[in-house]
Structure formats: structure tokens, C-alpha cells
Structure 1
Amino acid sequence: MMTTGIDLVEINRIRALYSTAFIERILSKKERQFFEDIQNESRRFTFLAGRFAAKEALFKALKKGDKTMNFADITILNDEDGAPYIESFPKGQLYKTELSISHTDLYAVAIVLLEIKE
């Protein structure tokens, strides 16, 4: 069985919510380490917006989801070619995942495909 989730985020909305508490609520520890190394301010916001959209899309793909799961429980990294992938999330071993994130100056969008492993 396959499910999908998609989310679109306004980057200015992320700018308005930006704070240390917001970063800690949205990003996992590994993601925060990567985020802290981003020097370009615009890139920092597109990174945050993309991760936010990807995690929202994952929750939507899970349908009912896991009511105990938080954004920071999900780790999204990039492979050697720069493509994002979901490294881990609670109960993630049950699923094969595919992820795509894209953004413009105004929006970030993400789509997640989940397939139950057999």
C-alpha cells in the first residue's frame, strides 16, 4: 500500500515564526547541526521552510499519524548529491520513503511517498 502527503509553506511565514524555540521544535539535533553551518540568511529560511513542509507532508502521508510524534523526532538529511531523504522517524522502519523538496523565493513545497514494507 502506498500513501502520499504534500505541503506548501510560505517562506515569509517561517520568517515571522523564526526563533530559537521554533528551530528546536522543528529541527532534529542532526538537522540543527547542519542549519547552524548555513551562513546565507535566505538559505537558512528556505532550509527551515523546506524541512517544515517535508515533515508536514510526512504527517499527511501517515494519515492519522502518530499523535506522540513531534517535528524534531523526524530527521531529514541530504545525500551526497544533495537530494533530501528521511533518515529516521518513529516507526519509520515500517515504511519505504521517498521525498522531494523544492522552493522559490516565496514558497517551499514537499511531497512524501510512503510504502508499507512487506
Structure 2
Amino acid sequence: MPILGHGIDLVSVSRIGAMIDRHGAHFLGRVFTLAEQSYCERNAKRRLEHYAARFAAKEAVLKALGTGWRDGIAWTDVEVVLEPSGKPTIALTGRASSIALSEGVTTIHLSLSHTGDFATASAIAERQT
């Protein structure tokens, strides 16, 4: 399968923490799905790392699709979900899903990594030939 695009993003964990502190539930609800919030809140010690990794994933996916934050895409249109094995994957809804379908995207490969200070994500969008 040919690659449509590759996106990568690096996020400061403390920056995401500051956004959560400043804007609270409004920020969380605008950026993260309820399932993402539930997952991140399970481990208080690494909660901000998990939020930051998901934030980076959303940015990386839209870079891979070549759209950025335009055309009515909402943050919650891009959701990080975990396979039973724990592998992170992407679920698209709304406008992000429509764009991916119009571009022939069949798979989005996702890799996440995080430390106490930074979170990063890499996304590769594959399309049909």
C-alpha cells in the first residue's frame, strides 16, 4: 500500500498539564473523548503523560492525512483506542473520517512514546492503490 503521509508530533507534558489546570473539564471535553479521558484518569501517576501522548497522536494523524486542523475537524474526531494487546490504534469519526475515506486511507499506523517530560507520536497513513 502506498503511503499518503507521515506525521510526527512532540508535546511537553507540563504544557498539557498547564492546559488542564487552566481550562479543566472544558479543555478535556473539547480535546479528548470520554473513553480517552477514562483511560488517562486510571493511573494518577502517569495521567499527564497519557493525555500528552494522545494530544500528540491527534496532531500526528492530521499531519499524516495532510489536513491539519481545518475543514471542520474536531479534536474528538481523532481518538486513540487500544487493541486488547495494548497496542494503540486510531479511530476516526466525523469530518476526519470523511477526509480519510475521500483520500482512500485504509490504515493509520500509530506509535506513541512518553517520559515524564515529553510525549511523542508518529502516524503513517496508508491508502489504496
Which residue identity is paired with 1:53?
Answer: A
1:106-117 correspondence to structure 2 within 5 Å: 106-117=117-128
Q: CA deviation at 1:80?
A: 1.6
3-state secondary structure, aligned to 1:81 = coil
Could you tell me which residue of structure 1 aligns to residue 28 of structure 2?
A: 23
Q: Could you list the runs of 5+ residues in structure 2 that have no partner in the other structure? A: none
In 2, Cα distance between equivalents of 1:116 and 1:29 = 29
Residue range with higher mean Cα deviation, 18-27 or 48-57: 18-27
* Per-residue CA distance 1:7-51 (angstroms, 9 max, x = gap): 000000001100111111111233233334x142x3110111000
* Per-residue CA distance 1:40-78 (angstroms, 9 max, x = gap): 2x3110111000000000111111345211111112111
The number of aligned residues is 116
Q: Normalized against structure 2, the TM-score is what?
A: 0.80
Structure 1 segments (4+ residues) deviating >4 Å: none
Residue range with higher mean Cα deviation, 61-70 or 7-16: 61-70
Residue range with higher mean Cα deviation, 105-114 or 92-101: 92-101
Structure having the higher helix fraction is 2
Which residue identity is paired with 1:17?
Answer: M
Q: Could you list the runs of 5+ residues in structure 1 that have no partner in the other structure? A: none
Q: 2:40, 2:48 within 8 Å by CA — same for their partners in 1?
A: no
